[in-house]
Amino acid sequence: MSNYSYMALGEELDKDAYVVCKYRVTTDLPIEKAAEAIAAEQSTGTWTGISTLNDEVFTRYAAKVTAIDGDVVTIAYPEEDFSIRVGAIPQILSVISGNLYGLGSLKGVRLEDVVFPKGILKQYQGPKFGDKGLREILHRPEKPLVGTIVKPKIGLSPKDTAGYIYEAGSGGLTNGKDDETLVDQAFCPIEERTKAVAEVLDRLREEGHHMVHAINISTNGQDIRELAEDVQSWGATQLMIDVLTCGYGAIQAVAEDPRIKIPVHVHRTMHAAMTKDPLNGISMRVISKLVRMCGGDALHIGTLGAGKMGGDSTEGRLNQDACQSDDVPFKSVMPVCSGGMYPGIVPAVVKAAGTNCQIQAGGGVAGHPEGVRAGAMAMCQAVDAAFEGIDIAEYAQTHHELKLALDRWGTK
């Protein structure tokens, strides 16, 4: 083992000189040894002492174990360990979230949180629009945004996709989106879909409904920027990128492109491969902070304990905080609550998330007994009731579409 110690418990550090991470560690080793193993592997060490590591290098670039609280260890990485002109999120993740998961001496490691110094944050632009920008576009200053995901997630033609959005917008929804698996399949080519949806959004606007629809442009790195520009030129009002299948660089490339003048909705599909296990992987809070830095305007954060996907309200609030806290120099990100949503669950979501969020339902709109427009109306009625502080069952007595939805799916 190295003859250098990475332990710096209680050492006062200049917070603007370090990237500080919290890891939950499961190990049979003494926790101090496990913490040192992470700090060493992710900075200047390896499995054995090396003749090429000298005092100057160690002092300047070694990570420090600054706190141990039960199974949670805090490790501070010197800012100089991070790349300046190029490297960006990929290099950051290689340091704070790289080899450490594979260390044989550790049974489990989960990166729970990360705090960046000003010097790193200033390398990122953050969202162009954010939650406030989306609200301005949608003329919706206070209420939760209410959205839908076109269902079935694949198989509809461009014309039928547009028809779904026209019905959803006519029912009062503010947001539509492609589903995460729809991009440019033969049954729904992206250019035709974008143009067909743009046409109905224009019609909706003329009829007094302000609505955006996120076109999924998830693709490889060399094509995504050009595809974003093309989709915008075809009339798209919002873009969608699946951040974990495309990479954070895809968000940054599109969001920082000065030619892109429309917001970016960020889907997190595949996140559960790394966020679901409480003892292994990466928290959605960390992912949320990275997406905000890279410029996502809206991000799925879970349903705070409601809905079909896992994740509890505590985790959801940590994700929402990562999207909207004022401790970083970026616009706030619109937190999106989605996954198994339906009108009867809206009160629970608004209670947990508040009203500065986007609540969206796919099955919970398309599955309404009277169709998409009625499903949209029911979601809007549920949001109005929650916003006004009116009991949803009472509200349903005078709102037919909501009553049918409660009869079908009940309340949470």
Query: Among residues 64 and 193, whose Cβ is nearest to Mg ion?
Result: 193
The pattern of x and - marking residues 93 through 122 that bind ligand CAP according to CB under 6 A reads ------------------------------
Site for Mg ion contains 242 (CB under 5 A): no
Task: Say if CB 265 and CB 336 are below 8 A apart.
Answer: yes
What is the separation of C-alpha 136 from the centre of its chain, rounded to a whole number of angstroms?
21
> Smallest distance, Å, CB 302 to Mg ion?
13
In terms of Cβ atoms closer than 10 Å to its own Cβ (0-12, 13-18, 19+), residue 282 is buried
Active site residue 276: no
- Quickly count: other Cβ atoms within 10 Å of residue 220's Cβ: 10
Q: Torsions phi, psi of 270, nearest 5?
A: 85, -5
Please choose which of Mg ion, ligand CAP, none residue 331 contacts, taking the beta carbon within 5 to 8 angstroms, the exact cut-off set by kind.
Answer: none
Beta strands 298-300 and 264-267 are parallel
- What crossing angle do the helices spanning 284-294 and 248-255 adopt, rounded to 10°? 30
Site for ligand CAP contains 153 (CB under 6 A): yes
Instruction: Select from 268, 202, 221, 270 the least CA-distant residue to 240.
Output: 268
- Tell me: cis bond preceding 343? Omega within 30 of 0 counts: no
Which of 24, 64, 268, 331 contacts ligand CAP by CB under 6 A?
Answer: 268
Query: Among residues 252 and 338, whose Cβ is nearest to ligand CAP?
Result: 338
- Tokens encoding 187: 């049954």
* Radius of gyration from C-alpha coordinates of the chain: 23
Please choose which of ligand CAP, Mg ion, none residue 340 contacts, taking the beta carbon within 5 to 8 angstroms, the exact cut-off set by kind.
Answer: ligand CAP
Taking the CA atoms of 97, 101, 106 and 108 in sequence, report the sign of the dihedral they define.
Answer: positive
Judged by CB under 5 A, the stretch of 56-64, 177-185, 191-199, 349-357 that binds Mg ion is 177-185
Q: 3-state DSSP call for residue 239?
A: strand
Site for ligand CAP contains 216 (CB under 6 A): no
Site for ligand CAP contains 349 (CB under 6 A): no
Judged by CB under 5 A, the stretch of 26-34, 103-111, 174-182, 204-212 that binds Mg ion is 174-182
The partner residues of 21 in beta bridges, in order of sequence, read: 75, 114
**What is the enclosing helix (H) or strand (E) of 1?**
none
Judged by CB under 5 A, the stretch of 16-24, 176-184, 277-285, 397-405 that binds Mg ion is 176-184
User: What's the CA gap between 90 and 96, in Å, rounded?
Assistant: 10
Active-site hit among 267, 271, 300, 368: 267
∠ CA 57-58-64, rounded to 5°:
140
Task: Say if CB 332 and CB 132 are below 8 A apart.
Answer: yes
Which of 106, 145, 361, 372 contacts ligand CAP by CB under 6 A?
Answer: 361
Query: Among residues 167 and 180, whose Cβ is nearest to Mg ion?
Result: 180
> Smallest distance, Å, CB 272 to ligand CAP?
8
Residue type, 247: G
Active site residue 265: no
With contacts defined by CB under 6 A, how many residues of the chain interact with ligand CAP? Answer: 18
Around 202, how many Cα atoms within 13 Å sit in the side-chain half-sphere? 9
> Smallest distance, Å, CB 67 to Mg ion?
39
Active-site hit among 151, 213, 271, 300: 151
Task: Say if CB 140 and CB 210 are below 8 A apart.
Answer: yes
Which of 1, 308, 314, 410 contacts ligand CAP by CB under 6 A?
Answer: 308
Site for ligand CAP contains 341 (CB under 6 A): yes
Which of 180, 242, 297, 315 contacts Mg ion by CB under 5 A?
Answer: 180
What residue number has its CB nearest to ligand CAP?
362
> Smallest distance, Å, CB 309 to ligand CAP?
4
Which of 112, 179, 315, 384 contacts Mg ion by CB under 5 A?
Answer: 179
Site for ligand CAP contains 154 (CB under 6 A): no
What is the separation of C-alpha 35 from the centre of its chain, rounded to a whole number of angstroms?
28
User: What's the CA gap between 326 and 365, in Å, rounded?
Assistant: 34
Task: Say if CB 74 and CB 20 are below 8 A apart.
Answer: yes
Site for ligand CAP contains 302 (CB under 6 A): yes
Please choose which of Mg ion, ligand CAP, none residue 364 contacts, taking the beta carbon within 5 to 8 angstroms, the exact cut-off set by kind.
Answer: ligand CAP
Please choose which of Mg ion, ligand CAP, none residue 300 contacts, taking the beta carbon within 5 to 8 angstroms, the exact cut-off set by kind.
Answer: ligand CAP
- Kindly list the strands in the beta sheet with 281-282, ordered across the sheet, starting from the edge strand earlier in the chain: 64-69, 72-78, 18-27, 106-115, 281-282
The contact set with Mg ion (CB under 5 A) reads: 179-180
The contact set with ligand CAP (CB under 6 A) reads: 149, 151, 153, 179-180, 268, 300, 302, 308-309, 338-341, 361-364
- Residues assigned a catalytic role: 151, 267
